[in-house]
Amino acid sequence: MFEFIKDIAPNLFFILFLVFFHQYWSEKREWSRPIKQISVFLFGALSIILCMGFTIPTNNGMTFDLRYIPFIIGGLYGGPFVTIGLYILMFVLCLAIGGTVGFIITTTIATLIAILILSIHKQYQTWVASEKLSFTTTLGTYSALTVAVMTVLISPEAGMDQKNWIAYMAAYLVGTWISTKVIEDIRQYELLQRKLVRSEKLEAVSHLASSISHEVRNPLTTSRGFMQLLSEQEVPDHCKEYIKISIEEIDRAAEIIQDYLTFAKPSPEKVEILQTKDELKRAMDVMQPLANMNNVKVQSVLMEGSIKAERSRLQQCIVNLMKNAIEAMPNGGLLSVYSDVVNDKTVVIRIRDTGIGMDANQLSRLGEPYFSTKEIKGTGLGMMVVYRIIESMNGFIEVESEVGKGTCFTITLPLKKEVKEKVSLQSGVV
């Protein structure tokens, strides 16, 4: 058994080293989704080649390795294209190496794993780290167990003794667990680092906003009042036009100041139980004229879901996102609005457009102070306010975008169960 463990150690080293190196290296780079998929495929391919190049020999001439660990990890984190690519690679390598028993076992197990990964990939991305750890270790152990069962059934004399089989399955369990743990920990660390940097920037803007917003808004209100009085007097037509433009610009400045105030104080003042379906319909009705003007078709699939929020703030977030989506489709397109309840715990809202999209650099800076994809026309305040309000509601936003293909904003908010709340209140009264 000791000799077997010594032989299996290089496989584990190659896999864990490459997982750590790839994750640490790739998480610090702002890559588009296709580039990330290519990097995951290269990691998985190199790991599989090294595992199959440094096999674990047995006394009966048959060899074993840990090739299914990078196949599982690469497929789950890389997606369908990576899964299919790694599957083809293993198939080709098995043909090149030869061996009927090994080819049958590899093809059978790889096919089963590929089908499972392809069917569960999207759901896997929504799981928390503990759920991912449980699934990958279970799948890894299942792979090793299937190898053992098929080897014994097809060619009993080519297998290993019981202790070595136990060590083999333990290697798969440990390898998949550590690989997943490294990936999730590095992702969490990088996410916290980005949040920390972003929080520092937002804190500076928040202090500035809270200190000057009131002082600026008061003289603006006074100036607008006098402009309104002038417009009611008998003045030349060209002067009335100037006054109208001045009032419009003062109103625009007031809206920016209001955004600053909302950003500086995002906490809701009048919290109530809201139905996301009703609120989304209301926001869509508001934005329908703008969509018609831009030749944008709006479609929706809305499910009931209760959340605890302030109606005006929630509407501000949704309208901002829809407005940005419509403006990102200057030549027309499709705006899709979707809402659903996930795992009876959270409400998910997705707002997707088919517009110009964003590159990796723009995506990473979204929601930062003074950054906007609208160049001269934008201040970046709208998205800052959206992020701030959603965070104050104990939710979070995820953004997926690709240049030329569009953008999808996913808002996740905690579900508020009205029925349970009413029951508990009634119990308290009794």
Return the pLDDT at 167.
85
Q: 65 with 4: CB under 8 angstroms?
A: no
pLDDT in tens, 16-51: 888 888 887 777 676 677 888 898 999 999 999 998
Identify the CA nearest to 413 among candidates 334, 315, 327, 314: 314
Q: What's the Rg (C-alpha) of the chain?
A: 29
pLDDT in tens, 332-379: 899 999 999 887 888 999 999 998 888 777 777 776 655 556 554 555
Q: Where residue 252 falls among pLDDT bands split at 50, 70, 90?
A: confident
CATH code for the domain in which residue 125 is found: 1.10.1760
Q: Are residues 108 and 22 in the same domain?
A: yes
Tell me what the mean pLDDT of segment 107-113 comes to.
91
Q: Are residues 85 and 179 in the same domain?
A: yes
Domain total in the chain: 3
Quote the CA–CA distance of 384 and 372 in Å, as a whole number. 10
Give percent above pLDDT 90 in the chain. Answer: 25
Q: Are residues 7 and 106 in the same domain?
A: yes
Q: Are residues 307 and 353 in the same domain?
A: yes
Enclosing domain of residue 226: 196-264
pTM of the complete model beyond 0.85 = no
Pick 271 or 156 by higher pLDDT: 271
Quote the CA–CA distance of 193 and 361 in Å, as a whole number. 17
**430 inside domain:** no
Q: Are residues 279 and 177 in the same domain?
A: no
Q: Where residue 267 falls among pLDDT bands split at 50, 70, 90?
A: low
**304 inside domain:** yes
Return the pLDDT at 430.
28
Residue 98 main-chain phi, psi, to 5 deg: 90, 180
Indicate left, alpha or beta for 394 from its phi (over 0: left) and psi (-120 to 50: alpha). left
**426 inside domain:** no
Which of 37-41, 69-73, 202-206, 300-304 shows the lowest mean pLDDT across its residues?
202-206
Identify the CA nearest to 3 among candidates 58, 63, 65: 58
Which of 138, 161, 193 is at the close of a domain? 193
| pLDDT of 251 strictly over 70 | yes
**425 inside domain:** no
Identify the CA nearest to 302 among candidates 341, 274, 273, 334: 341
Return the pLDDT at 71.
94
Q: Where residue 214 falls among pLDDT bands split at 50, 70, 90?
A: low
Quote the CA–CA distance of 160 and 137 in Å, as a whole number. 22
Q: Where residue 428 falls among pLDDT bands split at 50, 70, 90?
A: very low
- Angle value at C-alpha 112, between 110 and 118, nearest 5 degrees: 95
Which of 169-173, 349-353, 425-429 shows the lowest mean pLDDT across its residues?
425-429
